[in-house]
Amino acid sequence: MRKTLSFATVFVVFFFILVFTQIAVAEIASAFDSQSLVGEWWGEWSTLNGQFSDRIYITVKKIEGNKVFGVVEAAGADKYLRYEKFEGTLEGNVLSITLSKLWLRLTIEGKTMEGNAWGGQESRLKLVKHK
């Protein structure tokens, strides 16, 4: 004899799976403290072909909602240090910054930021929180 599940049983199981999934997603999202970004980040950038590399500094001054405000200082291939204020966007643990001639997308994990920059050439960036 074959048993079938009632609609109510299927609904209850589906409901609990849905609730559990939402709780798990909320826990993961809340595990990242956006205020931990505030401070100085020091690191290096290098072009993907390895032709150029130098230092980069990002200072995060404040965070309001998903908006991140700060300053980027980066030495270019010509060795001049460029300084530019920014208003970035934070989505989860990913920081996106648009500067006048450069776009950055960085993933934050603990005290490290890693990602890419696009401008003249695509570059790889790695920064560590200094203070």
Q: Which helix (H) or strand (E) holds 46?
A: strand 39-47
Q: Work out the number of other CB atoms within 10 angstroms of the CB of residue 46.
A: 14
Please report, for the chain, the start and end positions of each structural domain, with discontinuous segments joined by +: 34-129
Instruction: Give the global pTM.
Output: 0.71
Q: Work out the number of other CB atoms within 10 angstroms of the CB of residue 18.
A: 10
pLDDT digits (tens, 9 = 90+) for 77-122: 555 567 789 999 999 999 999 988 889 999 999 999 999 998 878 8
Give the chain's mean pLDDT: 80
**How would residue 12 be classed by pLDDT, with cut points 50, 70 and 90?**
low
Is 34-129 a domain of CATH 3.30.300.130? no
